[in-house]
């Protein structure tokens, strides 16, 4: 099955093709994915051990309908209850899970749905992650926005009414250094009330610097908590170091970030185990840092440029709904984001049940908001997208659709004094 991930290689040089082939076929040419590289901060934390011991011992085939019913009857959802709700035995109980999830969402979030938009400022990448459109061996149009271009993109987005932005880059310190990202955060503070980051993991002091520049929260996708599968999918680059990525959220909190977000990319490995690990990562970290805001994203694999075979393995909308409902029942206070990877129909439905945050006016390309928001012809080049989106609704359309569902769209609920 792994071969379905490999990208088109016709544009690579002979030397690059040879290196790529060795990385794919000869594990001995790859660095140990569990060993830190020079410059990577190591923190002493027990979170990883707690999460991994639970995930590795999880046998979801053993759960029965009786255990699912018991889990739904409990006022507070234990880890064991959560495991039952993620199991195949819970699929016939999806309606009951949705009702319980909706009750928990209403209790803790009312009828509000938060809205944000991502802004990709660069798509250069130094990693070979075989499922990602930005990977260093994929032949795409690369681009890095100048500060002037970043501010222009931000103004276009802010003029649409958006008040929260998520700044993203490819994972390249060489092209998108911490100082470059910090300057983008400073610009974002001029236009937005909330500024998030989804960048390569950095050290505690660097997260502190980015927070001082204006960043409020950090999102890091672990991609998969299955370390063996992770090794096969991340063949080259800093991202290959699994434990450094795992501890990124804790380093961000140690650096002063107000909030952190977690996710597995559902479909890369066993989605039930990845969903369990994602939620437990939040669960244990929340108890260690009770002041922090925490949220979960629920992305599935999407097609990428030069590879039309990237699809979420075995994770259909029914399974995704089950995961999101289980998340809400287990972690009632945690925000849940459903991105534009999913269809408008699915997102319209899930915000009435368990999701509390959605993206709108989305582009995963570089420097193209002027054309997508205002219909104006783009000046100069733009960078290719990281993946295909499914829901391309504008902020106005998304706002209206949420309102039509009887929910309250929220653009910002923070005041800075």
Give dist(CA 316, CA 293) in Å, integer.
Answer: 29
pLDDT at 140: 78
Name beta bridge partners: 335. Answer: 295
CB-hemisphere CA count at 13 Å for 80?
Answer: 7
Do residues 116 and 157 lie in contact, with contact meaning Cβ atoms separated by under 8 Å?
no
DSSP 111: T
pLDDT at 374: 60
pLDDT at 6: 42
pLDDT at 380: 54
Give dist(CA 324, CA 355) in Å, integer.
Answer: 7
Name beta bridge partners: 266. Answer: 300
Give dist(CA 42, CA 286) in Å, integer.
Answer: 20
Q: Token pair for residue 14?
A: 């002979």
DSSP 265: -
pLDDT at 395: 87
- Closest CA relative to residue 138, chosen from 315, 383, 380: 383
pLDDT at 11: 61
pLDDT at 389: 66
Give dist(CA 318, CA 297) in Å, integer.
Answer: 17
Q: Token pair for residue 190?
A: 């001029």
Element (H, E) at 23: helix 14-25
Give dist(CA 25, CA 29) in Å, integer.
Answer: 9
Name beta bridge partners: 304. Answer: 307
Q: Where are the domains of the chain?
A: 11-410
pLDDT tens for the chain, 417 residues long, are 333 444 444 566 777 778 888 888 889 889 999 999 999 999 999 999 999 999 999 999 999 999 999 999 999 999 999 999 999 999 999 999 999 999 999 999 999 999 999 999 999 999 998 888 787 888 778 889 999 999 999 999 999 999 999 999 999 999 999 999 999 999 999 999 999 999 999 999 999 999 999 999 999 999 999 999 999 999 999 999 999 999 999 999 999 999 999 999 998 999 999 999 999 999 999 999 999 999 999 988 765 555 555 555 678 999 999 999 999 999 999 999 998 888 899 999 999 999 999 998 877 678 766 666 665 555 555 555 555 667 878 889 999 999 999 999 998 876 665
pLDDT at 309: 52
Say if pTM beats, i.e. exceeds, 0.85. yes
Do residues 48 and 74 lie in contact, with contact meaning Cβ atoms separated by under 8 Å?
no
Do residues 340 and 394 lie in contact, with contact meaning Cβ atoms separated by under 8 Å?
no
Domain 11-410, what architecture? Alpha-Beta Barrel (3.20)
């Amino acid at each position: 099955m792994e071969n379905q991930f490999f990208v088109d290689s016709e544009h690579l040089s002979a030397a690059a093709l040879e290196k790529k082939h060795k990385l794919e076929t000869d594990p001995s040419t790859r660095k140990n994915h569990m060993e830190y590289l020079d410059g990577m901060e190591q923190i002493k934390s027990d979170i990883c051990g707690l999460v991994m011991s639970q995930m590795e011992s999880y046998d979801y085939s053993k759960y029965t309908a009786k255990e699912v019913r018991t889990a739904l009857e409990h006022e507070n959802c234990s880890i064991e209850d959560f495991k039952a709700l993620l199991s195949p035995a819970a699929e016939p109980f999806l309606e009951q899970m949705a009702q319980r999830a909706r009750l928990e969402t209403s209790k803790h979030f009312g009828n509000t749905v938060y809205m944000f938009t991502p802004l990709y400022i660069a798509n250069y990448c130094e990693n070979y992650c075989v499922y990602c459109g930005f990977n260093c061996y994929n032949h795409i149009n690369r681009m890095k926005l100048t500060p002037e271009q970043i501010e222009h993109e931000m103004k276009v987005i802010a003029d649409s009414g958006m008040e929260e932005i998520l700044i993203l880059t490819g994972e390249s310190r060489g092209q998108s250094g911490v100082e470059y990202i910090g300057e983008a955060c400073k610009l974002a503070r001029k236009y937005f009330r909330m500024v998030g980051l989804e960048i390569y993991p950095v050290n505690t002091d660097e997260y502190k610097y980015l927070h001082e520049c204006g960043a409020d929260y950090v999102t890091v996708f672990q991609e998969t908590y299955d370390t063996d599968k992770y090794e096969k999918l991340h063949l080259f680059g800093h991202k290959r170091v699994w434990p450094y990525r795992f501890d990124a959220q804790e380093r961000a909190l140690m650096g002063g970030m107000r909030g952190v977000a977690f996710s597995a990319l559902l479909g890369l490995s066993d989605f039930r185990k990845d969903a369990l690990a994602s939620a437990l990562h939040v669960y244990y970290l929340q108890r260690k840092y009770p002041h922090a805001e925490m949220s979960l994203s629920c992305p599935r694999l999407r097609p990428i440029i030069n590879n039309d075979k990237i699809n979420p393995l075995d994770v259909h909308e029914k399974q995704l709904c089950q995961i999101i409902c289980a998340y809400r029942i287990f972690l009632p206070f945690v925000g849940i984001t459903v991105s534009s990877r999913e269809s408008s129909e699915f997102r319209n439905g899930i915000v009435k049940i368990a999701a509390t945050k959605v993206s709108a006016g989305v582009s995963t390309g570089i420097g193209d908001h002027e054309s997508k928001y205002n219909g104006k012809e783009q000046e100069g080049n733009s960078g290719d997208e990281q993946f295909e989106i499914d829901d391309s609704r504008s902020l106005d359309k998304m706002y209206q659709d949420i309102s039509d569902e009887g929910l309250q769209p929220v653009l910002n609920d923070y005041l800075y004094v």
